[in-house]
Amino acid sequence: MIASTGDAAGAAALVSCCRPDLALVDLHMPPSGGIRAIAAIRRTTPRVRVVAMSGSTDPAPALEALRAGAEGFLPKTSEPEELLPPLLAILDGWAVLPADLLRALLRPTRPAPVDLDSEECRLLRAIAAGRNTLDVAEELHVSERTVKRMTAALLRKLRVSNRAEAAAVAGQTGLLTE
């Protein structure tokens, strides 16, 4: 059975009613949009395989679609004969992405550098090395209480909630290799 709808609001209801094996969702469909349609389909009929489609080359909407529950993404510029193999692969349980989109998603990203002074850099390196508060206090020649205050301020500045996340930021920004 083949069915279609022109709006995101009706997509989940249509899929729930028809129970297809596969749902193709245009990410740029009229309000409330393809991402919400994918999420709604996931909630109402989780066994249906969902494939997002878009004419845009921007990887951000495709990534949002995957996070919302799509098993794959295909460009709308694909020729009809090019669609059958990836659609069959999705029905077999595979995730499918065009190679250029996969490369864009896997490309390492470096977060925007945070402007840290030399003392904050030393503290962040010590945190990333797994040093405890007492050891850091001795190294920086300050009290444990000061290290705790400095650490709290650093976590806020980095917009992270704990020392492990701060260590990850240090690694991602290349601070540990400097």
Share the mean pLDDT of the chain: 87
pTM, to two decimals: 0.60
Q: What is the pLDDT of residue 169?
A: 82
Helix (H, G, I), strand (E, B) or coil at 54: strand
DSSP state letter for 96: B
Alpha helix positions (H), 21-107: 34-44, 59-68, 80-91, 99-106
Question: Cis peptide leading into 4, omega within 30 of 0?
Answer: no
Q: Which domains does the chain have, with CATH numbers?
A: 8-106 (3.40.50.2300), 118-177 (1.10.10.10)
Q: What is the pLDDT of residue 8?
A: 78
How far, in Å, are 84, 115, 129, 150 from residue 175 at the CA level? 46, 12, 12, 18
Q: What is the pLDDT of residue 3?
A: 85
Which residue in this structure is represented by tokens 């240090």? 170
Q: What is the pLDDT of residues 54-99, one digit of tens each?
A: 998 888 888 889 989 999 999 999 899 999 999 999 999 999 988 8
HSE value, Cβ hemisphere, 13 Å, CA-based, for 15: 27
